[in-house]
Homo-oligomer: A and B are copies of this chain.
């Protein structure tokens, strides 16, 4: 209670990221940014179990600073995850403003695929049973669902894609495509590819096979 945690956000991951109660000192904010950037990089190269020292060094700060802002390791993982989810979700409206609906949709799906590609290690952590991560899948959907939903709606309104596919299905389909584990086998992936290529884009009203 005394020294209130002034970490990036004190809000629950599922809710809107509330503004911190007290404004952070500028160096603190800068270090937090550096840490998140460094953590993202380190997670990519050394996995989510990258040593704290490695992350701190990469960020150019001491380990004490890391633990000041992210008392638990899961806090750092959550923050990185949310930051990247936000970046990817926000890209939707930017793309939507800069391109035709169909193009925006296509570009965003590529962006989303990139996002998934960097989450190979994180996915395992998310499903590891640690209750600290319970809220993240919900956050994932709450951000990506509407983001893709509006792209899909716009494209459908422009007659470029069919309108009967829920955003959620597309999100899951692509997510499964990018998970080459031994889950469903190639057949599942093929079905999903078919859904995306054949079903989504063309057939805005007609559909064979």
Contact = CB atoms under 8 A, between A and B. Distances in A.
A129 interface: yes
B123 A127 contact: yes
Contact of A182 (B137, B181, B182, B184): B137
Contacts of A183: 137, 172
A174 B112 CA distance: 29
A3 interface: no
A172 B134 CA distance: 23
Interface residues of A, number: 21
A124 interface: yes
A134 B181 CA distance: 8
Contact of A124 (B127, B134, B172): B127
Interface of A: 47, 120-121, 123-125, 127-129, 134, 137-138, 140-141, 168, 172, 181-185
A181 B127 contact: yes
A78 to B, nearest CB: 14
A121 B120 CA distance: 17
Given A121-B128, A129-B47, A141 B172 contact: no
A137 B181 contact: yes
A123 B47 CA distance: 17
A185 B138 CA distance: 10
Contact of A129 (B121, B127, B129, B168): B121
A182 B140 contact: yes
Nearest to A168: B185
